Chain A
Amino acid sequence: MIHGIGIVFLITSAITVAGALAAALLKNLIHCVLCLSITLAGLALLYLQLDAQFAGFAQILVYIGAVAILVVFAILLTRGAGIPEYRNVSSSWLVSLVIAAAIFALLTWAVIRSFPATAAGAAPGATVQSIGSALMSTYVLPLEIVAVLLTVALIGAVIVAMPESGAAGKSIEKGGAQ
């Protein structure tokens, strides 16, 4: 791939940041989520530029294909479609903005002012096969743990979000439509 600050990089990062900003500013929640998807896609592109193909496609599959959809479902289930009746931002938005800006400033300054790194070497070979074999050998424990974690989390999420039996369940079904 193209190394260095190339035009592709700039365009992809512009898309990413724009999407993020839009997600921050839009009022309609669905629009926010869709913009989030754009951001995620931009990030995937960035991964691809970094020769992390597997990570990029995993990003698309998992984040855009699952998490974003999940957020959409959540929004729909909580009657968030459309403009919500309350104000967009909380009352102390300025402070938060200042804090975020401060963090950005700090991070950027740290990056700029650190010593220049050496020139990038060749791209590391991250084939699927090598990733697979690494998963099964070096990273088998994290793999298993993540598997358990996913199982537990999803079961837990289902249970937490499950409608209670009886009148409460019925009222939810009645009022859940958009």
Chain B
Amino acid sequence: MMPAPASLLTDNTASWIVRNLWLIPAVPMIAAGLIALLRQPRRKTAATLAIGGLGFSLVLAISAFAHVLGAWHAGAETRETISFNWLDLGATHLQLGWLLDPLAAVMLVMVTFVGLLIFIYSTGYMEHDENFTRFFCFLSLFAGGMLGVIIANSLLLLFMCWEIVGLTSYLLIGFWYHKPSAASAAKKAFLTTRVGDIFFLLGIVWLFAQTGTTLFYNNGAGAIEPAALTALLGQPAAWGLTAAGAIGLLIFAGAAGKSGQIPLHVWLPDAMEGPTPVSALIHAATMVAAGVYLVARVYPLMAAGAGPGSTTISLTVVAWVGALTALFGALVAVAQNDIKRILAYSTVSQLGYMMVGLATGGVAIGMFHLITHAFFKALLFLGAGSVIHGNHDEQDIRHMGHLRTDMPLTFVTYSVGMLALSGFPIFFSGFWSKDAIIGAAHSWPVSKGPFILLIAGALLTAFYMMRQVSYVFLGHWRGKGHAHESPMVMTLPLSLLAIFAIGLGVLGTPVWPWFTSFIESMPIAAESEPGMIALMVTSSLLVFLGLGLGWWLYARKPIRRPALAPEHRHTSEHGDEESQAPGEIVDVLESASPVIWTVLANRFYFDELYELTVLRLYAALAWFSDWLDRRVWGGIVSAVTSAFKALGWTNKSLDSQWIDGAFDKGCEELVNSGGVLAWLQAARAPGYLRMLAIAVLALAAMALVIASATGQVRL
């Protein structure tokens, strides 16, 4: 599907890098294929193939990025596409193709770079796992699929790679498939994203039907280019939407599934069943970002028809869903006790931020947060992996503590990530990216609702991250045995990511908005809006408030192991844990308001709600289908069978009793008559001779009479 000989390409004037852009996804996929063919588990070979493949893709991605950068500096066209006919359907063609523009270039570099770091990290993390080669095969396949999504110029190609990504996500979440929780988590992820994908496919088909092409950009004839968009805007759909709005909503549904927006978010936390590098790569940095990337890619479609002071239905929906998701994720993250679950809900929340950024501020603002988030979320996940690895696979934060001294490098890098995520001002990239989104939400003409939700979310983000860091790294050691620092193959990527988590902020400051200009292919111009400084100050204050609250509640008095004996009872003080039956710590907030805590800890009972409604319905449907199949269709088949059997039996009885019987009867009668006739025989030769003689006599007499009649004999 991907490789196409040069003679098939419609655009032979493209540059070398664009012509060979397909290598970027193809090489990791080929590496995955080769790894799959390895006869025995060969760890070094598998790891080398995977890392080598992705490294090659990284080099190509960097050269592609440089190419686009050069084009941007020169003021030339930054978007180049290559398309080819894939399937001929009579007069129309299904075309596939790839494109290179600033958006794709940035994503390519990010995905390959972060992916490469995670690959290297995995060689250390999965060292003790016996399915090492299978892991790298899937990882490589995922990398190929994700890169395919990025460079796809055709909705069809994007969907195909989308599905590959979904498949590998399933495979990797359920990597330890003999754990039933992992297997069902993988199934849940696949099915939930499938629900979104159905709408996505509907959108694709509708778009193709309306515009007649699957390509995004095709020298003016693409599906999201102005000509097609005006046509779509003129086409009314149901409920007062235009075709453009409806298709945009459908595509967003697919993105919502992949990016874990409400209500399709339920799979993301359960996806933490997979190994930590998987969580880092797929569920933090790249795959979940694919939904955001998709919305960014089809942004012209979603923004079609929006004037300067208004916005479209699609973007409004995106903004509200994103904002609600942001707040929801942050609320639930406060009450989780699994180190990875906290980060998972944090991801859900941050994806909401990205969606709001896209909807209110445009492609650049949403994508900037995506890029920075990729780095510091990957950093956080890898750090969590390091913690888990060092704690002998312990994941509950209540059983950790005081890792500041035992795992110093992890602590430092994790703290960098935490501060970046919280949005600590100036130095950390998260601040600039999140601030840009909050600013855009603030100046959104439609409503201030998302802005308020995002503010609350920012406060909570700082709070729960501080809570997590206090539980894990501060306080007293509450675990079993001893923790140890991770090997360098794991800590080196952490350090690299930490550097980027700090450094990337530079790209997005309002003073020098490099990123925005690059994405929009415009010259760099310092932005300044009224109230911008005020907004920055406000958000910084919020961050400090959140961090302070967290510190106050969790770090001021070090969290210690709960007392073992029941008679050691202390009166509950604010900030001190309550001792209870030997076992678990009770969180401060839990003791303060147990009802709210339970609701948050149970994730607002979303899963239970689905269980009761959707899954019940589905089970009923399945039961009904089974009944239908067995009773009705099976009955019909049985009836047909019986009819044929009856026919056959009738035939047989007709044949054997009537036809054969008639024949047998006839033969019997013949035999009987023969017997009767034979009875007439006397079996005496003289008698026969006598008969003969008499006959001769008679004949002779007759002959004589005749002869005399004719005159030969005179009688």
Contacts and interface: CB of A to CB of B under 8 A. Distances in A.
Given A90-B686, A106-B701, A106-B704, A96 B714 contact: no
Interface stretch (B164-172, B472-480, B487-495, B690-698): B690-698
A114 B712 contact: yes
B690 A99 contact: yes
Contact of A96 (B693, B700, B712): B693
B701 A96 contact: no
A113 B714 CA distance: 6
Contacts of B713: 110, 113-115
Contacts of A99: 690, 693-694, 697
Interface string A83-121: 000000010100110011011001101100111000000
Contacts of B694: 99
The binding surface of chain B is classed by DSSP as helix
B678 interface: no
A92 B700 contact: no
B715 interface: yes
Interface string B386-404: 0000000000000000000
Contacts of A96: 686, 690, 693
Nearest to B684: A90
A82 B661 CA distance: 59
Contacts of A113: 713-715
Nearest to A103: B697
A109 B707 CA distance: 13
Q: Interface residues of A toward B: which range? A: 10 to 19
Nearest to B713: A114
A55 B261 CA distance: 129
B707 to A, nearest CB: 8
Contact of B690 (A95, A110, A115): A95
A87 to B, nearest CB: 13
Nearest to B686: A90
Chain B interface: which size bin? Answer: 10 to 19
Nearest to A93: B686
B686 A110 contact: no
B122 to A, nearest CB: 97
A106 B690 contact: no
Interface string B200-215: 0000000000000000
A108 to B, nearest CB: 12
Given A90-B686, A92-B686, A110-B704, A115 B697 contact: no
B688 to A, nearest CB: 12
Contacts of B704: 106, 109-110
A97 to B, nearest CB: 11
A115 B712 contact: yes
Contact of B693 (A100, A109, A110, A115): A100
Contact of B700 (A95, A100, A107, A114): A107
Contacts of B712: 114-115
A99 B714 CA distance: 24
Given A90-B686, A99-B690, A100-B693, A115 B700 contact: no
Interface in B661-715: 686, 690, 693-694, 696-697, 700-701, 704, 712-715
A103 B704 CA distance: 12
A114 B693 contact: no
Given A113-B714, A114-B714, A103 B693 contact: yes
Contacts of A114: 712-714
A114 B710 CA distance: 12
Contacts of B697: 99, 102-103, 106
A152 B693 CA distance: 29
A115 B686 contact: no
Nearest to A100: B693
A114 B700 CA distance: 14
8 contacts: A102-B697, A103-B693, A103-B696, A106-B704, A109-B704, A114-B712, A114-B713, A114-B714
Given A92-B686, A103-B693, 13 more contacts: A90-B686, A96-B690, A96-B693, A99-B697, A102-B697, A103-B697, A106-B697, A106-B701, A106-B704, A113-B714, A113-B715, A115-B712, A115-B714
Interface of B: 686, 690, 693-694, 696-697, 700-701, 704, 712-715
9 closest A-B pairs by CB = A99-B693, A114-B713, A90-B686, A106-B700, A103-B697, A110-B704, A102-B697, A113-B714, A113-B713
